[in-house]
A and B are shown apart, each in its own frame.
Chain A
């Protein structure tokens, strides 16, 4: 029995498990050191936590697009990060003009809603165009080709936005109603913008989840992602469903773009790259094709990324731990894909059979 188990376990597996153990130990040791040092109060941890939650909520909105498109087309939509960015960018123009005309001060909620709607519309347009021009003709091509095309599309969009609107970063206008914090009793408080982000994202995710699970289109989407050809035989218009999948993911990403911009204020043509990778990490973490998984994975990643540097990197004596924030996210991506590519909640993709 043991011999059997040993035969399956190669040297490379052993090395990987060694590395994994080392990493986990480092995390644990660092965390304990930090907690013992007691440098941070519970207020601090709470702030980090809420920040991570808000960031994670935004990742969730972006992750939805990745997980849906991967589920249906088995490809990573590299251009999705630019779909996110485009919504944020055009939303900026609307928001700024509302701000200038005073509309934003008069009825901020309506203004924000319009900004979000425009952003979502932009994202959807970009996503649909990319699908139509770059992805659809290559659906039956070998794996590498659509991937390269996606990378090309991603670059094109980044650069197009940069050259069209200028390389300088732009700042979203200050929205009065979103300034300040809400007290939760004692020392604890949440920023108003964070409340907005968490609630808005939560609402959108719930709506999208409902859509995918309960509506006819949603069911058709799930059918197509299970088995494209059979779905076509069942009378489902596969092309149209694919477009709708892109639309859904893009709408979520566009909304996420506005929320991100309201929270972080600065936007530029390259803003999509890092959140995109992180959102993809989260999608894989939760299990590709798995929507609740993408949501949970995103929240987890957001919180872990926020608390992590302080929690264990600081404890390990690493200077300027927040510089390595992205390293945590990328490392998580690498670790998940190596050790559990089906994700924590598991995906429903079968290994290719002979």
Chain B
């Protein structure tokens, strides 16, 4: 088994009276693709928020390459090498596509105020390289030539890709993708699948994926974790998950699990 690059141990997050995430364990294998699925409200996005430092868990630990993430602020987490996208795209709407990506590079650039005011050679070089890198990322996600378009004017599919480009700009080791195929048609979804595979294979990034589109999950995940009501109810390979009765129950209700089992029994008979 590959190294675990991110460990979530017994993390609990409570809002008022609601336990959103309940003592959750999750190990993310390096350079792999790990999916988190579950019905709405299962706590998936909350998990992401805990990992990225937006929420502080009530208890538990999150370890990333030896660092404790539980009480770090989101910018520190990003600077350590974890990036994310959002369920309902949160680009910087009034900035251009290129500017969005350039912002994403913020932790890797170093020019301060003085350098910017006096346009030191260091700053000029850095900006030039940053711009070149931003264009490369733009090309990588297939948005060449749209760099100057305001992000709010881009079509939906492009916006999703831009968000990923922006997340890649900080050269993360782990990328958290929150429902990247939401709102996409089948061909766009296929493209996204290939793209995620490229992330793993070409860039060596570890991907943690929240998805509702089961075909995507089944196709590319190495490990699937299923959440319901904030708890892990199943974990394993896609094949194992597909036939897990708890999973079926969570998604389709109690009757469905036994119904499916009956159907299978009949089919075998």
Contact = CB atoms under 8 A, between A and B. Distances in A.
Contact flag (A, B; Cβ within 8 A): yes
Interface of A: 4, 7-8, 353-354
14 contacts: A4-B70, A4-B71, A7-B71, A7-B72, A8-B56, A8-B71, A353-B49, A354-B45, A354-B48, A354-B49, A354-B52, A354-B54, A354-B86, A354-B90
A353 B45 CA distance: 10
Nearest to A5: B71
Interface in B150-198: none
Interface string B75-106: 00000000000100010000000000000000
Interface in B38-64: 45, 48-49, 52, 54, 56
Interface residues of B, number: 11
A145 to B, nearest CB: 13
Residue with the highest number of chain A CB atoms closer than 10 Å, among B48, B52, B71, B72:
B71
Nearest to B178: A354
A347 to B, nearest CB: 13
Interface of B: 45, 48-49, 52, 54, 56, 70-72, 86, 90
Contacts of A7: 71-72
B2 to A, nearest CB: 29
A8 B56 CA distance: 9
Contacts of A353: 49
A7 B57 CA distance: 13
Secondary structure at chain A's binding surface: helix, strand, loop or mixed?
Answer: helix
A164 to B, nearest CB: 40
Nearest to A353: B49
A-B pairs, top 10 by smallest CB distance, nearest first, are A7-B71, A354-B49, A354-B54, A8-B71, A4-B71, A354-B86, A8-B56, A354-B45, A353-B49, A4-B70
A353 B49 CA distance: 9
B160 to A, nearest CB: 16
Given A4-B71, A354-B49, 12 more contacts: A4-B70, A7-B71, A7-B72, A8-B56, A8-B71, A353-B49, A354-B45, A354-B48, A354-B52, A354-B54, A354-B86, A354-B90
Contacts of A354: 45, 48-49, 52, 54, 86, 90
A354 B86 CA distance: 8
B48 to A, nearest CB: 8
A142 to B, nearest CB: 9
Contacts of B54: 354
Question: A4, A8, A353, A354: which has the most chain B beta carbons within 10 Å?
Answer: A354
Contacts of B72: 7
Contacts of B70: 4
A7 B69 CA distance: 11
A7 B71 CA distance: 6
Nearest to A3: B71
A298 B235 CA distance: 55
Contacts of A8: 56, 71
Contacts of A4: 70-71
B117 to A, nearest CB: 26
A8 B72 CA distance: 8
A7 B72 CA distance: 8
A4 B62 CA distance: 13
A8 B58 CA distance: 12
A143 to B, nearest CB: 13
B85 to A, nearest CB: 11
Contacts of B52: 354
A8 B73 CA distance: 9
Contacts of B48: 354
A67 B49 CA distance: 31
A1 to B, nearest CB: 11
Contacts of B86: 354
Nearest to B68: A7
A4 B72 CA distance: 10
A18 to B, nearest CB: 21
B21 to A, nearest CB: 13
A8 B76 CA distance: 13
Nearest to A7: B71
A26 to B, nearest CB: 32
A4 B61 CA distance: 11
A336 B70 CA distance: 28
B47 to A, nearest CB: 11
A353 B56 CA distance: 13
Nearest to B54: A354
A209 B90 CA distance: 40
A20 B203 CA distance: 50
Nearest to B16: A350
Nearest to B72: A7
A4 B60 CA distance: 11
A69 to B, nearest CB: 25
A353 B15 CA distance: 11
A7 B73 CA distance: 10
Contacts of B90: 354
B17 to A, nearest CB: 13
Nearest to B15: A350
Contacts of B45: 354
B3 to A, nearest CB: 26
